[in-house]
Amino acid sequence: MKRAIIVANWKMHKTQLEAKAFLEEMAKMDLPSTKEVWIAPSYTSISVLEEMRKNLNLSILIGAQNVNEHNLGAFTGEISAAQLSDAGAKFVIIGHSERRHIYLESDAMIEKKIAQALNESMIPLLCVGETEDQRAQGVTKKILSFQIRGALGSFSKEDLQSLVVAYEPVWAIGTGKIATPEIAEEAHQMIKKDLANMFGEEFTETVPVLYGGSVKAESMQNLMKQRNINGVLVGGASLAPDTFQKIINY
Ligand code: PGA
């Protein structure tokens, strides 16, 4: 059966108290067993939510929004994969466009971050996506290939058994301008083709590719009907329990 992974990326929102209140609301909901719900809060809420999730027996994965590319050392203000895993993170978002553009993360750095996540047995959720200009110039396919190859080129398929990829067109993130299901599906096919060229068809079939960028409940049905869309990464609409629950119950 096709996987349906729904990931909340809270970015720099919510105190511990607010994060806990959100999870309390989620606990009141019947989580559909066919859908996988993941939440990436701020670092400070990871252990709090993981503890609460265990106590409430909720089948939700708690993860992180970023990880440092080194395993430890003098990197003031940074956080390591071992520290995230210790806090209870089961997955980590890597190479989000906000990290690439605001904090100038390169593909080489992203590749190292994936290695760090894998070392700690956390699921790497690799984000790729083109800017508006790149799409207008007709280089979307090339950009996605660069990003996929740059991030994954040094790994074997055995290393990447848990890999999840998210297609996040930069022009759709936080803009309210969602990609049409056809545009998203076309980009997902490009990503799958690159993965297949690198790791073979059989492996590629097992890699979920999520769509992210202005996702709302209304867009879910048509997005999820596409063959190569295995879920969504949600920013703004994941902040309130009711809008997030509507997305889960599409
Ligand atoms: P958005 O963010 O849903 O607010 O567009 C998506 C993301 O950045 O992952």
213-223 per-position pLDDT tens digit: 999 999 999 99
Ligand 1 centroid–CA 214 distance in Å is: 6
- Does any ligand 1 atom lie closer than 6 A to the CB of residue 129? no
* Fold of the CATH domain 4-248: TIM Barrel (3.20.20)
94-153 per-position pLDDT tens digit: 999 999 999 999 999 999 999 999 999 999 999 999 999 999 999 999 999 999 999 999
Catalytic residue among 50, 69, 168, 185: 168
Catalytic residue among 50, 69, 96, 185: 96
In this model, does residue 1 exceed pLDDT 90? no
β-sheet bridge partners, residue 94: 126
In this model, does residue 196 exceed pLDDT 90? yes
172 DSSP assignment = G
- Does any ligand 1 atom lie closer than 6 A to the CB of residue 174? yes
For the chain, what is the total number of helices (H) and then of strands (E)? Answer: 11, 8
pLDDT band at 30, cuts 50/70/90? confident
Ligand 1 centroid–CA 89 distance in Å is: 20
Tokens of 44: 């400070």
Model pTM above 0.95: yes
Ligand 1 centroid–CA 6 distance in Å is: 12
Rounded to a whole number of angstroms, the CA Rg of the chain reads: 17
Query: So what's the pLDDT on residue 145?
Result: 98
Residues 6+ apart with CB under 8 A from 54: none
With the CA atoms of 223, 242, 35 and 11 taken in that order, what torsion angle do they form, in degrees rounded to the nearest 10? 80
Boundaries of every domain in the chain: 4-248
Task: Report percent pLDDT > 70 for the chain.
Answer: 100
- Does any ligand 1 atom lie closer than 6 A to the CB of residue 101? no
62-86 per-position pLDDT tens digit: 999 999 999 999 999 999 999 999 9
- Does any ligand 1 atom lie closer than 6 A to the CB of residue 234? yes
